[in-house]
Structure 1
Amino acid sequence: MHSLKNNCLVYSSVFSAGLIFLSSCGNEAAKEDQTTIRYSIDTVSIDSKDEILFLQRDLYTSDYSEQDGMLYNLNDKTNHVEQINLNSLAIEKMIPFEREGPNGTGFWTSDLKSASDQRLFFGGERSGIYTLGGKLQQIFNWSDIDKEKGGILDEERVHYQVVNPNFPKQVFAIVVNDQTNSVSLRQLKTSDDFIQSYNIDPNENYKTYTLGDLTNYNNWDPYLYIKSTQDHIIVSHEFANDFYVLYPAKDSLVSISYQSSLFESKVKPTTEGDLINSTKDRKNALKSYRSQIAYGPFAYNNKNRHHVRLSASIIYGEKEREGYLLPEIESSTLYISIFDKNFNHILDSEIPELKKTGIPKYFIREGAIWLYLNLDDELNFIRIKF
């Protein structure tokens, strides 16, 4: 990324692509039009005001709030949330949260999400919605639900969670079954004390791309993404492009897949090497998968009323990175996929200016895609403006 100079370099580009057919719920629709999109790229820096921002997890436990224009980033070492003002491009304040007591978040947090109205959702040991003053307003206790009402089994674990402002008494999660190496989408309704289950992996992508011994916890599982957008929940996968959209109000789950002229619909798995016991062979397999294609989560562009998904083909170098499984990125090819508001696939195109980003944490703000960029341990963002 040395070719991007902070705050000053702007690319202006045009890309076009033939619209590709959509396969949704068994239906296929052919498209013939051409679409052209203009975009520019720049970078911005965040003023930390002498605070040391928590970047060790690459903004993994963070979320952007459209309601107030703030990025909320959890420092899980101190249990503070950094409130970063993206209007002024500066840290606003550090918000402390308790770990114990009636307002405690617990000692580990896997998810942090904006819950609207100056509230945050913590998913983890103690899942709930908290005010910015640190008060617990709504708790979601998965373990309280009886097995007869869809409760979590002993061999299952709640993996990733999300809430949707349209459904304040509900929480949604990807649940992993470690006995069957399967995943499902669950919906906890606290008002009914009931958990609904949905099949979001009929092709067994989770099992296919898990590296290691499938009979115990000694394995590396692929990324799964769960996103809350408008009035629905989207679940997608790191190594396959099929995805699932839940409309809670209708209790309707829609399965969508599509074909691209630029990359395969799913990664070709490898069986070479000792993938159960050898860390080296697992790393080589993971490198092989991501060199083919790796998909990111969905994001919704309110300004242009379309859904965006980034993906990349990533080549790793030799220099190891502390705290990472794989070495530094040597090069990558970044792609953007665009869908209309009803998830009809519009286009895929390469973004050739960005050659070493991989797929960092990203979100959409005022029509632009913001991609996380760490420059000398300072928080920056690459912006793709449409």
Structure 2
Amino acid sequence: MRKLNPFLLFIAFVSCNEKDSSKNSESGNILENLTYSVDTIVMDSGEELFNLSGMIHMASQLPNLVYLFDEKQSKIQKIDLDKRALVSTFQFEKEGPNGTGTYLSNFQSLSQDRFLIVSDEAQGIFNAEGNKELDLRLSNFSDPETEAEQGIQLPFEMQISGNGNFAYAIVGDFFEGNWNFVRINLQSKSLKTWDMPELLNSKKFTIMLKGSDSFDLRAEDIHLNKLNEKIAVTAGNTSSVYKYDPASDSLYSVGFPHELTAKEKTGTYPLEVTSKKEYSEIVSEIRSEITYDTFIWDSSREKFFRLGNKRIRDSKKSEVFLYAYDSELNLIGEQKIEGLERPPSHYFFKDGKLYSYVNVEDELGFAVFTFDF
């Protein structure tokens, strides 16, 4: 057992707002009596090294596998959580016809060691040998309703459907706050686009530092979420989501009756400042409001879960919340995770436990949370 990051050291077993179990059934909140414990595991990289700043993705086909994308070296490392070791490395080119590009947006593991890779320069499916099998630039597809190509629009994120027949993307602009959902039919080479006007509010929490000698940008996270066969689009400033149903080929907004935390951010902030001090103060104020994260599926419980967090003012600590949803995405539980002072990072469920990336003495590790409720 290796030493864990300081923020998790003190957590061995914490009871979270213990109450009478009869009240749990009456309230309908399955997380009413939430307790948890946490342990840590470390991955063996063998003769290689892990770039701990890389992007982590869990394989949807095999829950024991995770992938680490090292953008600096354009390689993907396959890690077996059961073996706790690196098992394969896939090398790619950064430039050229098979290049993966720079500024990675997201990647997704597919069957037979194939990967969807999305960056500023490249959007496509690559095989284990590093060759691009399918170019997914939106300019390759047309919209039958307008009979026009999509021009130079860049997807912020993309996902491939389970059957491999469709790709989904979100396209937009943090500065303007306009976001669109795109469904791409890979067989007919066509696409369809939906507006998402309720995400316009995310622009209110985009702040730009534009000083004479400095530039920075803070914006709400926008993400695609795989909900088994469905897709959801989430924004950090709101609990509401856009949900896409492939059976009806429809996109619609879904809200949740949260009581423990606000349903969305509500503050008013300037969009641009020139002072580093003012920028830091405003960012801190925004972070003190609730931020909702993405949905993850726990196959052992057949439920979705989601985390939320609020930064405590004038502190590096946060309040962290856990939310539970049934398979149809109905809210069925919410609870503060007492004792946890920083939100988990790059998290996913495996065997009913929440795995979260941690740096363990400069080695790749995971904090493993066991939730009981």
Structure 2 length normalisation: TM-score? Answer: 0.84
Q: Are residues 1:197 and 2:193 paired?
A: yes
Contact conserved, 1:12 with 1:41, CA < 8 A, in 2? Answer: no
Q: Are residues 1:11 and 2:13 paired?
A: yes
Q: Secondary structure at the match of 1:204?
A: helix
Q: What is the CA-CA distance between 1:285 and the residue it aligns to?
A: 1.8
Which of the numbers 2, 6, 15 marks the counterpart of 2:6?
Answer: 2
Paired residue for 2:291? 294
Paired residue for 2:113? 118
Q: Secondary structure at the match of 2:278?
A: helix
Report percent identity of matched pairs. 22
- Name structure 2 gaps, 5 residues minimum: 21-25
Which of the numbers 172, 178, 186 marks the counterpart of 1:176?
Answer: 172
Kindly tell me: are residues 97 and 235 of structure 1, through their superposed partners in 2, closer, same or farther at Cα, counting changes over 3 Å? Answer: same
Q: Secondary structure at the match of 1:202?
A: helix
Q: Secondary structure at the match of 1:281?
A: helix
Kindly tell me: are residues 180 and 296 of structure 1, through their superposed partners in 2, closer, same or farther at Cα, counting changes over 3 Å? Answer: closer
For 2:275 and 2:245, locate their aligned partners in 1 and report how far apart those are by CA, in whole Å.
42
Instruction: Write out per-residue CA displacement over residues 315-361 of structure 1, whole angstroms, 9 at most, x where no aligned residue.
Output: 476xxxxxxxxxxx721111100000001101111111322x23422
Q: Are residues 1:65 and 2:59 paired?
A: yes
Paired residue for 1:161? 158
Paired residue for 1:127? 123
Q: Are residues 1:364 and 2:349 paired?
A: yes
Contact conserved, 2:177 with 2:201, CA < 8 A, in 1? Answer: no
Q: Are residues 1:332 and 2:326 paired?
A: no
Q: Secondary structure at the match of 1:261?
A: coil
For 1:230 and 1:176, locate their aligned partners in 2 and report how far apart those are by CA, in whole Å.
24
Paired residue for 1:106? 101
Trace 1:150-299 onto structure 2 (pairs within 5 A): 151-152=149-150, 156-166=153-163, 168-177=164-173, 180-202=176-198, 204-212=200-208, 219-271=217-269, 275-299=272-296
Instruction: Write out per-residue CA displacement over residues 218-264 of structure 1, whole angstroms, 9 at most, x where no aligned residue.
Output: 85332111122311111101111111111123202232112322211
AA aligned opposite 1:91: L
For 1:253 and 1:268, locate their aligned partners in 2 and report how far apart those are by CA, in whole Å.
25
Structure 1 length normalisation: TM-score? Answer: 0.81
Kindly tell me: are residues 177 and 39 of structure 1, through their superposed partners in 2, closer, same or farther at Cα, counting changes over 3 Å? Answer: closer
Q: Secondary structure at the match of 1:292?
A: coil
Contact conserved, 2:256 with 2:331, CA < 8 A, in 1? Answer: yes
Contact conserved, 1:16 with 1:34, CA < 8 A, in 2? Answer: no
Q: What is the CA-CA distance between 1:204 and the residue it aligns to?
A: 1.5
For 2:279 and 2:148, locate their aligned partners in 1 and report how far apart those are by CA, in whole Å.
35
Paired residue for 2:44? 47
Which of the numbers 134, 137, 144 marks the counterpart of 2:140?
Answer: 144
For 2:297 and 2:67, locate their aligned partners in 1 and report how far apart those are by CA, in whole Å.
18
AA aligned opposite 2:189: D
Instruction: Write out per-residue CA displacement over residues 263-292 of structure 1, whole angstroms, 9 at most, x where no aligned residue.
Output: 1111122336x8343343233222111112
- Name structure 1 gaps, 5 residues minimum: 19-30, 318-328
Q: CA RMSD in A?
A: 2.9
Paired residue for 1:79? 74
